[in-house]
Structure 1
Amino acid sequence: MKIKKVLNNNAALASDENGNEIIYTGCGICFQKRPGDELEENKIEKTFVMEKANEQFLKLVSEMPYEEIQVADEIIKYASENLGKRLCNNIYITLTDHLGFAIERSKSGTFLKNKLLWEIKNYYKVEYNLGCHALEIIKDKLGVELPEDEAGFFALHIVNAELDGNIHHTMEAPEIIDDIISIVKYTYKIDLDEDSFSYERFITHLKYFLQRAERNAYYEPQDPGIFEIIMERFPEAYNCATRIKSYMESKYPEKLTDEEMLYLTVHIARITDRD
């Protein structure tokens, strides 16, 4: 395959037979190479395939130290393997960019305070643990020690890639989840068992619930008979879900459907079951 553009000694832009632009990286892959030269396939360590190469990612690859690109890739790969799912390609831009700035700030002793750290630790426990592991990889491979706040930031990038969402909405989500949990606690005047399986399932449901809210794509109503049964079976949980509905409709333009109310009611009934 022929080089279309030399990004630096360790990265090249080329095209496949379908016209897709591909970024190839590898230590010294472009050393003394020019556009039109053949790539040595045995030097290729990573490929990034896109229908059209993203200019921001091209800029990152061409300007960031190769070791940092490798570390970002290792963090993403580890997160994907542990979550058991393929993450949205955009994480290669967002997380890599964040890593570069975090390392740059650390050199001047400047660190960002993560105001959502408590919420992230409590509502995105798996992703937070992946963020902590990211800090270990960075320390081991780059010799840079970043504070716990950065584990929270990396966790948000992972959450965003899981949901294929907008990072700004993803950063708002922990606060919204916290508000919803507060509504449940206030309605029932109880503390919730945060170690229970039902609580964990509810938090997972809320993550995707907020993704649907962001996209104006709530579940469509299915069987109204089932919704009526749930309302009668769990009146207190339905009352709580109604409060959440009012709160959500103050945040998002789309009205909650009966199907969304059904799921909220069932989850609330589960996490507040005193028996």
Structure 2
Amino acid sequence: MNGYICHKCEVVKVFNNNVLLVNEKDIEKILFRKGIGFGRKTGDIISSGEKVEKIFTIEDKNNYDNFKQLMSYADKEIIALSEEVIVMISNELSEELDEKIHISLTDHILFALKRLEGNEEIENPFLAETEILYKTEFDIAKKATIIIEKAKKIKIPDGEVGFIALHIHSARNNGKLSNTIKYNFVCNSVVEFLEEEIDIEIDKKSLDYARFVTHIRFAIERFLNNKPIKNELISAIKKQYKSSYEIAKKSAKIIEQQLYIDITEDEIGYLSMHIERLRQASRNNYN
């Protein structure tokens, strides 16, 4: 939230010129405003009514304890940088974020920078799926990496953009990734199977691929919510796309085994249509 400090508060920690941790009536809050920390030190009193751009309160005891632990090993500059990123994310979305992001995203940025400084890059196998399924979060994550790059003078790889996007998605959903990891893992498994089974390389930037992973995502949601759909073209699909239908059945088995659900023949029919498109696109690219 933003506005004004309602009661006088004591400075607990100065992270940088823009970010402070304060105690207001025995509740610790993170304050953000350009220049609010300039010249201030621990123990200083900030009067009520002072304007701030953002006020973040970590109310849950476990989250508070985890944030305290984070402050014990994280450089204050990294915490300040993460808080500036969180302010940007909140402003971009025009919504309040789950308080866990102050711990999870900061911790991720801290260790990501350590890995990159040591020339250790972790591959993100779900990058393409994340960009497609969570475009808003991904676009904001790209802006976040620009802030980090400018501050730390280091190049942030695309894989990290995907990881940050998932943290943003989690913060919009009460601190949970909902079924994000499941969707991504299942999509990745099916795609790897298809590339090996059909002997093709699927273009992860293509519209056909975007449609394919989106279909899998919503098919999973339909089954988890017990809302199957009818496919009136199933008979024609089985005849016209016989090979793709057989491959779709094998793909459905992968989904069933990983999520413990039963994929209906109607869904397999739709899946086979997407697989046929991917096969045709691969042939066209090859030719």
The TM tier, using the shorter chain, reads 0.5 to 0.7
* Aligned twin of 2:166: 159
* Aligned twin of 2:17: none
| Among 234, 258, 261, the residue aligned to 1:231 | 234
CA contact (8 A) 2:138 2:162 kept: yes
Q: Which amino acid aligns with 1:145?
A: I
TM-score (norm: length of structure 2): 0.63
Quickly say closer, same or farther: Cα 1:28–1:194, change in 2 above 3 A. Answer: closer
Q: What percent of counterpart residues are identical?
A: 21
Flag structure 2 segments of 5+ consecutive residues without an equivalent: 1-5, 15-19
Quickly say closer, same or farther: Cα 1:113–1:170, change in 2 above 3 A. Answer: farther
Q: For residue 248 of structure 1, report the CA deviation from its aligned partner.
A: 2.1
Q: Which amino acid aligns with 2:148?
A: I
Residue 40 (structure 2) pairs with residue 28 (structure 1) = no
| Among 231, 248, 251, the residue aligned to 2:258 | 251
2:119 and 2:219 mapped to 1: Cα distance?
A: 32
* Aligned twin of 1:218: 224
CA contact (8 A) 2:10 2:43 kept: no
SS of alignment partner, residue 234 of structure 1: helix
Residue 154 (structure 2) pairs with residue 145 (structure 1) = yes
- 1:144-165 CA-to-partner distances (Å, cap 9, x unmatched) read 41552xx413422312542647
Q: Which amino acid aligns with 2:147?
A: I
Q: For residue 181 of structure 1, report the CA deviation from its aligned partner.
A: 1.5
Residue 130 (structure 2) pairs with residue 124 (structure 1) = yes
- 1:13-61 CA-to-partner distances (Å, cap 9, x unmatched) read 5479xxxx67232433974547xx6654435342224553522235446
SS of alignment partner, residue 124 of structure 1: helix
Report the more deviating stretch, 39-48 or 21-30.
Answer: 21-30
1:238 and 1:80 mapped to 2: Cα distance?
A: 44
Root mean square deviation, CA, Å: 4.5
Q: For residue 11 of structure 1, report the CA deviation from its aligned partner.
A: 0.8
1:273 and 1:80 mapped to 2: Cα distance?
A: 42
Q: For residue 180 of structure 1, report the CA deviation from its aligned partner.
A: 1.0
SS of alignment partner, residue 71 of structure 1: helix
1:131 and 1:31 mapped to 2: Cα distance?
A: 32
Q: Which amino acid aligns with 1:28?
A: G
1:262 and 1:45 mapped to 2: Cα distance?
A: 52
Q: For residue 247 of structure 1, report the CA deviation from its aligned partner.
A: 1.1
CA contact (8 A) 1:22 1:48 kept: no
TM-score (norm: length of structure 1): 0.65
Quickly say closer, same or farther: Cα 1:137–1:8, change in 2 above 3 A. Answer: same
Flag structure 1 segments of 5+ consecutive residues without an equivalent: none
| Among 106, 110, 129, the residue aligned to 1:100 | 110
* Aligned twin of 2:67: 57
2:92 and 2:249 mapped to 1: Cα distance?
A: 36
Residue 13 (structure 2) pairs with residue 8 (structure 1) = yes
Q: Which amino acid aligns with 1:241?
A: A
2:265 and 2:51 mapped to 1: Cα distance?
A: 56
- 1:80-116 CA-to-partner distances (Å, cap 9, x unmatched) read 777898765533322111112334556xx52433133
